[in-house]
């Protein structure tokens, strides 16, 4: 089971739900405004189609009732100023990103983890988005085909189907090629195009690029090894080479203690960790409660008490950096992860 595997409701009978959803799809959005409050006339570029993870996502008009099934996509939509067009969200590991609290305030939380297919359809979505292929796949909320059969287009973050990502490789999948921030920027551009707010997308990507440039100045960490621990004390999920932690490590110029492991989040025993003896441990500070050692405090308590870990260099020297779970996922928060890791390394003395 992967670290993203969460309890979801069994798919209920949809007979009572088909009529209203199909009616909604046939009629289209009731609010016919474009992304800036202007009329979405035929000349505004709709219908438009976006190629997404092997699917063609076609929109006849800017979505007005989007449901975002993961925190990552929700925070991108809110960062694009689209809170008035999001009617539901789900599957959170952390508090909302700083600065988006007000935008997120009135958006219904359909479930803390995966909502049922029925619950999503009750929100009458005209678009469903997700951060992970597994969310809109077998064993998730529902498949993309199930939504599309009801006329509801769907979108999955390209970070989870980027070149080299194998989602059939068990757990959270594996990557033969390193993830780059370009995939995150690509998701922002796609969603901005889908909603007809392309200028906002350009501005947001520009701001993120500037933040990365500013965060990574003056570091001297070429020989510093980092280990990323997401969750689970008994059989910890540690970052392999090439997911979001790999992008963070590459941006700051350090080394990943498990850069020879291509699984996204392999479960690695503590004896192997002791052999690698990382210089700095990056801890996921999660607020959910689905596995052991979710918070950073619980992780530190475990590391300092467990015989297999208490003699690690990073533990003895208290070399910890704390990140949200979302910063460890491929998302807009990965930029926040770069900033926090860079700041943490400076505080630990790794700066020119």
What's the pLDDT tens digit per position in 85-117?
999 999 998 899 999 999 999 999 999 889 999
What pLDDT is attached to residue 1? 54
Max CA separation in the chain (angstroms)? 67
What pLDDT is attached to residue 11? 37
Q: Does position 337 have pLDDT exceeding 90, yes or no?
A: yes
| CA atoms of 350 and 28, how far apart (whole Å) | 55
Mind listing the pLDDT tens digit for each residue in 111-160? 988 999 999 999 999 999 999 999 999 899 999 999 999 999 999 999 99
Task: For residue 20, give Cα distances in angstroms to 14, 111, 127.
Answer: 11, 22, 15
CB 263 within 8 A of CB 172: yes
Domain 218-347 is of which CATH architecture? 3-Layer(aba) Sandwich (3.40)
Place of tokens 């070149």: 163
**Model's pTM, two decimal places?**
0.85
* Angle at the Cα of 52 from the Cα atoms of 49 and 55, rounded to 5 degrees: 80
Which residues have CB under 8 Å from 86's CB, separation 6+?
66, 67, 68, 74, 77, 78, 107
Q: CB count, 10 Å around CB of 85?
A: 21
Give the 3-state secondary structure of residue 86: strand
What pLDDT is attached to residue 275? 97
DSSP labels, 112-133? SSPPPHHHHHHT--SEEEES-T
Preceding omega of 47 cis (within 30 degrees of 0): yes
Domain 44-210 is of which CATH architecture? 3-Layer(aba) Sandwich (3.40)
Mind listing the pLDDT tens digit for each residue in 154-199? 999 999 998 889 998 878 899 999 999 999 999 999 999 999 999 9
Same fold for the pair 44-210 and 218-347: yes
Handedness of CA 227, 229, 230, 234 (dihedral sign): positive
CB 200 within 8 A of CB 34: no
Handedness of CA 68, 71, 77, 81 (dihedral sign): positive
Q: Where are the alpha helices (DSSP H) in 28-143?
A: 71-79, 101-104, 117-122
Query: Could you tell me the residue ranges of all domains in the chain?
Result: 44-210, 218-347
């Amino acid at each position: 089971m992967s670290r993203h595997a969460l309890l979801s409701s069994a798919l209920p009978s949809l007979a009572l739900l088909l009529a209203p959803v199909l009616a909604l799809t046939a009629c289209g959005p009731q609010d016919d405004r474009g992304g800036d409050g202007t009329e979405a006339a035929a000349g505004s570029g709709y219908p438009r189609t976006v190629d997404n993870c092997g699917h063609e996502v076609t929109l006849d008009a800017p979505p007005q009732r989007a449901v975002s099934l993961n925190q990552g996509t929700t925070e991108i939509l809110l960062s694009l100023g689209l809170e008035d067009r999001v009617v539901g969200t789900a599957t959170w590991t952390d508090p909302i990103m700083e600065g988006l609290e007000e935008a997120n305030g009135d958006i219904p939380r359909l479930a803390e983890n995966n909502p049922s297919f029925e619950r999503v359809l009750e929100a009458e979505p005209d678009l469903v988005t997700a951060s992970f292929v597994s969310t809109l796949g077998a064993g998730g909320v529902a498949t993309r085909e199930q939504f599309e059969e009801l006329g509801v287009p769907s979108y999955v973050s390209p970070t989870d189907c980027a070149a080299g990502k194998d989602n059939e490789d068990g757990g959270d999948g594996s990557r033969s090629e390193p993830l780059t921030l370009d995939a995150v920027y690509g998701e922002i551009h796609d969603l901005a195009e889908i909603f007809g707010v392309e200028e906002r997308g350009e501005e947001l990507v520009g701001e993120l690029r500037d933040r990365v440039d500013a965060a990574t100045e003056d570091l001297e960490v070429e020989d510093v090894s980092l280990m990323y621990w997401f969750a689970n004390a008994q059989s910890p999920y540690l970052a392999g080479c090439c997911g979001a932690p790999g992008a963070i490590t590459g941006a700051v110029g350090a080394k990943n203690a498990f850069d020879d492991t291509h699984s996204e989040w392999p479960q690695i025993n503590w004896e192997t960790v002791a052999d690698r003896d990382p210089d700095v441990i990056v801890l996921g500070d999660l607020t959910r409660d689905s596995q052991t050692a979710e918070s950073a405090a619980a992780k530190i308590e475990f590391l300092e008490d467990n015989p297999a870990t208490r003699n690690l260099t990073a533990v003895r020297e208290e070399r910890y950096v704390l990140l949200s779970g979302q910063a460890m996922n491929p998302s807009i928060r990965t930029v926040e992860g770069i900033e926090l890791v860079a700041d943490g390394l400076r505080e630990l003395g790794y700066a020119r």
